[in-house]
Structure 1
């Protein structure tokens, strides 16, 4: 262990040297040229959004401006929490400044427009009382950002305003909360404030102000150790451990990309490691959950209640691409083409399955569709309300599914949504939606929420226990289909319980095949079926019912109001044609269940009839296990809600803790196992596997990730040489004493510990080279083998082996070999 201690000591010394050098780098002043360069870039960004209608808008607003340089449609005394009207005055002055400073505008350097700008500024400065807003965001972010852009435009114009007037407006940029209030945050509030600090620093050529902006933004590009910010799995959380990859995550990307692009090429440019972290999040967290020009509504938080929520926003990707390395340009270009609808939604989409274990979100991607799934656990927060937004999002995290072929299936549906029938949920049919405590204060009620992934296929689980209702819900993701199972549905709620398959915009006719296979097209209205529906097709998405059930279908107009879900939006009646499909479990169900298969990408009844349902075998669906086998792919996926055994068709699987498992190559003697612990509590799970090709049950001790990686997937391979399964923990326990090793005192390939060991020996690689670690018994037989290309510890389980002498060998890529000998005692 001495060499390991020495390694960490050297690493700490190197870290301290880096911090000292970084501090020295910050001590140097910024050149005037750098300030001017940054200001030029801010000006260009602001002007890039001018568009062809700039002059027309200026003409209209100029004509409407009164003689005192105010506008009659603005209530300057408003203190409203949302849609604060006084800000509109500054936004309009910014529009004037863009035209006045833009050589391509008809208003370029026009004295009449300059007079209107100066008059508008003086009107603002003369307001008594000063404009005030109930929302801190206005004076802290919106007002100073608008003023900063306006002043920079005027600086770039041939004839700017007086320094006296400029200084008076600069003072307004400091009336909100200081950036020090946000220095420890890891989200968009910090980057929003930092943007206008950079503007003010350039206008005043103030190095201190510039450092106050850049330093905390650099620090925020890191993997968050706590609830909020950029997570290890590339999700983004804000207002507690609440999924917000779009919404606050989008603003975070925009703000960081703005600032990074402004300072590139200066002494404050962001280092490559920060850009790499940022890039990884954008490409693998932000881009992935979109479909065409839209994105999964699960990721917008309370913003789902805003008009046009769901836009994927290729503009923010253009910004991110500009600061990323050229090697990643292709990923941005493909997404921008899809989001801008210059290419189809399927364009260069890879088949992937991603479980974001830090945020209880699963994402299944195929060229033909996107399927998003959001749940909530005791570790994460439910979708929030706040500022009068998302007033009906009570059930918005209860296993909610986003099923998209084109992407626009839910676009602006939310004012007319039936909010007790959100896609994917199993909940009471309440008619009056409660409003939760605001700002992400509501957590899930169960820890067993998560999923396993091999990168292409996966399974997810939500052991729901809320609203006086319990349900075991699972999803099994393949290529052509997603199998959705529910069991143990029990409720004491006063309302009937429903499981909603989908509620989306009505895009096509609704085609249905009854139990006899007769196909018909439904007219508008609602219908109920009792175990006599084979399949339903609408909007290029098919739904199969392998176990029947009481199914209801609705395809008709629904009416709602934006103000019912967002008090910031004026009352506006909305009507839209909506498709709804749901199971009815009735009042106070006891151990009810459901099964359905979603097949996105089906466009016709003939395609539905051609679907080979024999590929799917539902092997278990009860309160202890849910399991599905895809017969064509040879993939088994099993949810164990408790320790136990699963048996089907000659395969026996045992686990000593609850988990989710994928088995592949089961018909061979080399079975690949992927596993995750949805509860994120187990450190190791003992798995046994018996198939017709193994004479005895084989075992694998799956060491599970901890810390920020808890809940992520691990894998192993079970072969005829794998250890024989020992059923009881007591039979597996053992102790080991390390007797000798040839590990050098300087630069060993690895270190081992503890000594003596109980049950497990841990190997600690000393570098990120690729090593093969092999455990060998006294007869020279290989009993375990593991590979590593990191410095993460590797664990060898000793419990399944008899007493005797054993060795661990390490073989590196440089042909070095080192050996440790130890003795297992029983």
Structure 2
């Protein structure tokens, strides 16, 4: 190679290095500006800044914070750092009266010094390695130009406790802290590693592994639904990083943005109702709205957080996303969790199985949640029916559950939680509503339970209820705040229906209903160890089915008609209710619209009458929707066990079967199969066939 060629080669290499460094430098500036822009989306009022500065002492600590606290949950010292972020935002907000004011800069730097000199700690590792660094980084970047080198060095040393490790949401938090720290230092390699790690977790998980599920629900701590706990924090962090990385060399791929869009609008948006986050979706975080007079992480705060994330996501997303959830039934097949929404009400069901953990307790939280995943079924109209009811709830009688009423304190769950003893748990969406059903097998109690959602009604059927324990067994229809009168209707001494707060509860079986109404008393400490034991009393309405002591093959059937006056309820009871076709230990079947729609929960092989002298023989456990056609049937099916490859049936009559690979006619019976989704990601989804008369 001659000297000229060698010189050209070196010039090219030097040019590439300079270009790369320039791009990196530009990205650094852009990333820092994106961080500032992200945090400046929050508006901190002049009054709040004045209040914070007024509460700051001469050593730049806050007088209302107990810095000697070491408890694991709701650790108050971290509030010091969160307040500094608010002061930093006000300092950089051109519309604030405190914009770049010297006394505010002094308070920010002083507050950072106070923390770095003391380095307070909690007994929960999370705060030292995640929470504290997470609450220092934003202030360092927002106010980088006013922070002295000595303060910056000490603060970054505190942040050095964050390392890239662990899994799931913890991994995102740790990597985010590393990124913010190294963005200040300008360490390209560690920034890239942290950014790559953050982006690496935005992938669809395999069913029942931690992360975003194929149905867009979210799991953490094993196969456990965590939409409103870890899942909401996951969304909070990833939306933040998508905003910060936007229009830089480390921006998220379009595929990852698509996945987050589905997580936001196919899952998170759907668990919010009338200004509150649905309580059954919040994991173990059954929190009050305020703690010591300050806003905490209750359902209203979680709702506000989600709506803010939705707003931020739409700032950088090019798609036109839905402004609200659709009115429909949806079942999250990977989380044993169903939702039904109409114009007039919202009704979730939380179940469990051998696949899915029902609930957990930890950090002194959810001490009473032993039955949360046992078929709890709530009915919201105004959205406040259960708001902060936890201290006074009878936790053995959660709405929708069938439980043993023993006399010992409820066991406190562990981090491992619990699983229901059956694989049969599932849901089936239809054009008219949906079915949720499961076999309950826990603590020597068995029950087959179904919930049918249609229009403004929720039908609940239970059967095969039994236990060998010498205690009463109760199915709770509802337990909510009492609002207004309770109207009880009886016939021959038996309650036939009850009306309360625009809901008519109609007895569809021979079971005995009991109504309880009055003051119930409790405290927050029985829910959260770090809360007060101050007694709280609320008036509560409770409606339940008493199955007696040590029942065998007991059953129940009732329907909740939602959004009706007392007079409207009478009309609906006489003219508009569905008809029970079969109510046995093996099968629950309801007919609607004069037999045009039939909904079935088949727990065992069984037969169901579906028309005049017409039977459907079901050979496998399944959930079914049947639609009457002019000359046949459309049948939709789900395998709630998620273990079968096909379902087989026999139906009276001679039919051509569309959508079935196997069918035959023998006499006057058509035998056919429904092939089920074979890929693991699609287990529990519905399949269908159409039967047309020959």
TM-score, length basis structure 1: 0.75
Q: CA deviation at 1:513?
A: 2.7
Q: CA deviation at 1:631?
A: 2.8
- Indicate if the aligned counterparts of 2:654 and 2:670 stay in contact, CA closer than 8 A: no
**Distance in 2, Cα, partners of 1:99 & 1:452:** 50
- Which position in structure 2 is the counterpart of 1:163? 149
SS of residue matched to 1:689:
strand
Q: CA deviation at 1:206?
A: 2.3
2:191 counterpart (205, 210, 222): 210
2:130 counterpart (138, 141, 145): 141
Is 1:233 equivalent to 2:210 in the alignment?
no
**Distance in 2, Cα, partners of 1:323 & 1:710:** 34
Alignment root-mean-square deviation, CA? 2.3
**Distance in 2, Cα, partners of 1:142 & 1:82:** 11
1:179 counterpart (164, 181, 186): 164
- Which position in structure 1 is the counterpart of 2:604? 642
- Which position in structure 1 is the counterpart of 2:482? 506
Q: How many aligned residue pairs are there? A: 650
- Indicate if the aligned counterparts of 2:523 and 2:532 stay in contact, CA closer than 8 A: no
**Structure 1 residues 596 and 297, CA gap change in structure 2 (3 angstroms):** same
**Structure 1 residues 432 and 635, CA gap change in structure 2 (3 angstroms):** same
Deviation digits for residues 219-259 of structure 1 (CA, Å, limit 9, x no counterpart)? 22222114211111121111111111222111111111110
- Which position in structure 2 is the counterpart of 1:491? 467
**Distance in 1, Cα, partners of 2:138 & 2:486:** 51
Aligned positions of 1:254-403 closer than 5 A: 254-307=236-289, 309-311=298-300, 312-313=303-304, 314-328=307-321, 331=322, 333=323, 335=324, 350-403=326-379
- Indicate if the aligned counterparts of 1:260 and 1:270 stay in contact, CA closer than 8 A: yes
1:126 counterpart (113, 117, 124): 117
**Distance in 1, Cα, partners of 2:456 & 2:113:** 64
SS of residue matched to 2:590:
strand
Deviation digits for residues 558-578 of structure 1 (CA, Å, limit 9, x no counterpart)? 221111101122333322222
Q: CA deviation at 1:474?
A: 1.0
SS of residue matched to 1:381:
coil
Greater displacement, 241-250 / 393-402:
241-250
SS of residue matched to 2:265:
helix
TM-score, length basis structure 2: 0.89
Greater displacement, 230-239 / 539-548:
539-548
Is 1:606 equivalent to 2:556 in the alignment?
no
**Structure 1 residues 665 and 483, CA gap change in structure 2 (3 angstroms):** same
**Distance in 1, Cα, partners of 2:327 & 2:671:** 31
- Which position in structure 2 is the counterpart of 1:699? 671
- Indicate if the aligned counterparts of 2:375 and 2:401 stay in contact, CA closer than 8 A: yes
**Distance in 2, Cα, partners of 1:449 & 1:97:** 50
SS of residue matched to 1:618:
strand
Deviation digits for residues 472-515 of structure 1 (CA, Å, limit 9, x no counterpart)? 11112222322110111111223211000111122332223333
Is 1:39 equivalent to 2:45 in the alignment?
no
SS of residue matched to 1:48:
coil
Deviation digits for residues 299-319 of structure 1 (CA, Å, limit 9, x no counterpart)? 111012444633333222212
Deviation digits for residues 305-344 of structure 1 (CA, Å, limit 9, x no counterpart)? 444633333222212323433332xx1x3x3xxxxxxxxx
**Structure 1 residues 108 and 296, CA gap change in structure 2 (3 angstroms):** closer
Is 1:665 equivalent to 2:639 in the alignment?
no
**Distance in 2, Cα, partners of 1:102 & 1:631:** 61
Rg bigger for which structure? 1
- Indicate if the aligned counterparts of 2:504 and 2:566 stay in contact, CA closer than 8 A: no
**Structure 1 residues 595 and 92, CA gap change in structure 2 (3 angstroms):** same
Greater displacement, 657-666 / 368-377:
657-666
Aligned positions of 1:101-120 closer than 5 A: 101-120=92-111
Q: CA deviation at 1:691?
A: 4.9
SS of residue matched to 2:146:
coil
Q: CA deviation at 1:680?
A: 1.3
Gaps of 5+ in 2: 1-18, 290-296, 657-666
- Which position in structure 2 is the counterpart of 1:772? none
- Indicate if the aligned counterparts of 1:198 and 1:210 stay in contact, CA closer than 8 A: yes
- Indicate if the aligned counterparts of 1:467 and 1:493 stay in contact, CA closer than 8 A: no
- Indicate if the aligned counterparts of 1:487 and 1:592 stay in contact, CA closer than 8 A: yes
- Indicate if the aligned counterparts of 1:358 and 1:708 stay in contact, CA closer than 8 A: no
Deviation digits for residues 573-600 of structure 1 (CA, Å, limit 9, x no counterpart)? 3222222111111111111111001112
SS of residue matched to 1:537:
strand
**Distance in 1, Cα, partners of 2:299 & 2:65:** 29
SS of residue matched to 1:611:
helix
Q: CA deviation at 1:175?
A: 1.4
